[in-house]
Amino acid sequence: MAPPLSGLLETCLYVEDMARARRFYREVLGLDALLEEERITVFRMPDDTVLILFSRGSTLEPVQTPGGIIPPHDGSGPAHFALAIPPDSIDAWRRHLRACNVEIESEIAWPKGRGHSLYFRDPDGHAAELASRNLWVR
C-alpha cells in the first residue's frame, strides 16, 4: 500500500514568451509572482499550491541546487489546467474575461448541479478552465 498523499503541490506550463505570459496571468487572472527569473515564474495560488511557468526549452538540462539535482523536463503543445472558482463567481468571471478581451471558447453547465466551467486560451494556446470547486466532489 502506498504512503498517503496530501494534495497537488504545483502545476507547470511551458511558454514561449515569459513576459507575455506573466502579463496575462497577472492581468487576467490576478496572480502575484513569488519568483520571477528569465526562465521561470512562480505564482502562488490561494490554496498554497503554485502555478509555475517555464520558458519552453529552458529546463532540458539538470539543474544543480544546494540540496540536489532537479531532473530535466519540458513540454510542448497545448496543455490543460483548471483553476477553482467560487460557485457564485461564474458571471463575474465571464464579464471579467470579456473585459480583458479573452475569448471564452466553451462554457459547460455540469450535470447534477456540480457547477460550471469556462474555457479559454492563454497566449501560448493552453486550455485554461475556471471551474466551480465542487466539480469533483463525490
How far is 29 from 10, CA to CA, in rounded Å? 17
| 25 close to 134: Cβ distance less than 8 angstroms | no
| 43 close to 51: Cβ distance less than 8 angstroms | yes
Specify the pLDDT at position 26: 97
| 78 close to 126: Cβ distance less than 8 angstroms | yes
* Whole-number average pLDDT of the chain: 94
**Mean pLDDT value of segment 48-74:** 95
Specify the pLDDT at position 3: 83
Say which CATH superfamily domain 77-138 falls into.
Answer: 2,3-Dihydroxybiphenyl 1,2-Dioxygenase, domain 1 (3.10.180.10)
The residue extents of the domains of the chain are 7-59, 77-138
pLDDT tops 90 at residue 35: yes
Tell the burial category of 121 from Cβ atoms under 10 Å away from its Cβ (0-12, 13-18, 19+): middle
Look at the domain 7-59 and name its fold.
3.30.720
Specify the pLDDT at position 133: 83
pLDDT bin (cut points 50, 70, 90) of residue 112 is: confident
Q: Tell me if 7-59 shares its fold with 77-138.
A: no
pTM score of the predicted model = 0.91
